[in-house]
Chain A
């Protein structure tokens, strides 16, 4: 009976993804760096450091389930970070104007990607690659190629230091006696929103249908173009949220931020067990994937493994995780 339980648990993608996470955490318990792994602060930091990637992975999950890919999220994050800093630091906008403003920027980027790929039928890889370059350019244009920080130039050419805006301080803060970061809470809210969209709303069902068999979906009356555009818009919005968080944590808007983040977000989605071919997967799996990569990186860093080794090991582990996922499917 026990065997049957394990068999069925490992037969599902969620079971296999959880097993991978469990192995990583066990490794952490063994190589605990003199008890550092058992401190609550370690876990708080792990979650804080992976939250920005996790938010990107939420949007990426929606797009990948619909059979697409979004390479632009890292650039959109940088653009949103620059915009947020510009609005909050330079222009002194209040939070209730900064946040909708940045989300509008993300929406516009996502809508453009979506229209080009779903409406004009450019391959998603190409369409979002273009958006990746385009958004990076806009970010540099908006920031003048420099970091938008609290050091502000006066009219006479001298510099002054302005106060960190309250929005940034609120986000880069910990609650529950300092045990949980606000960005982690934002990440979990994003997961919840994506979960509701995927499993409680008609649109989620449409995304699965399009990713599983686009032609069958179209012939069943699914509004394929609209549903796909919405997926890219959602990805753009999540990227903007991640950008605001990034700006708050760094207290500046760096137009060079987020380079390569899109690949990490894709890796997190895939490690969870969502199929890159579309049609299969879920946001719960992505949550597991985010935690797996986050903890893996943390455990390697508390054990003082140099960055070179960390990258090599992470690469190997991503392939291993995906191979296990594939074996289970056939």
Chain B
């Protein structure tokens, strides 16, 4: 083993070295093109107004300050927007996972006629974009009296995230052997008990991916809240940021601080969920 690998390594050595240099060169390019624009906003959040508008511009903040965060969260309505977004996202994610996981479990365990058709229709529905539905959404929410309410947002977010959740979790539940369910039934577990104490704990990775996807979609959604809930009391962070970016004199330092507050939860969630993302989404696109 050692011998053969060292032989082949020495055979390939010159080209392997060149190849690796080439790969890491490209890595550096990706690294810079992704992180440079972001780092600009990140460091900008810690700069004072005078430094933001100084020429030539600085990359690292000279006198790092937390003043921007303080201002953004105490002045104006951004703190309210953060709170609204937290509530709406949390409620929507919990509802999506609860309803979606039960539906997915039912689809995974029981056969019914047109099951495959149902699944394909579900996938098709997932692909109807909110851009097309935005006018009907507005009129429906108006009829239901849910314009400018957080409830209206929760309803739309939950409904639009359930199809992909069902798809992801159904694929996951299919990998859990039915014999486990049967063993539980013999031991006297009810269907619900089986689901909650046996299947759900085993599906934690699947639930994390589904929950993460639902979370970033709720947290980032822009068009729906812009149209459905634009009032001051129901603003969410994406709309709040957009309003910051008014036509006259952008306060970039405040904007950057607000951006950082908006992005932080998503990045943290991403760091936890990223291991599962590639495998989870692959299942969605080919299963």
* Bound pair (A, B): no
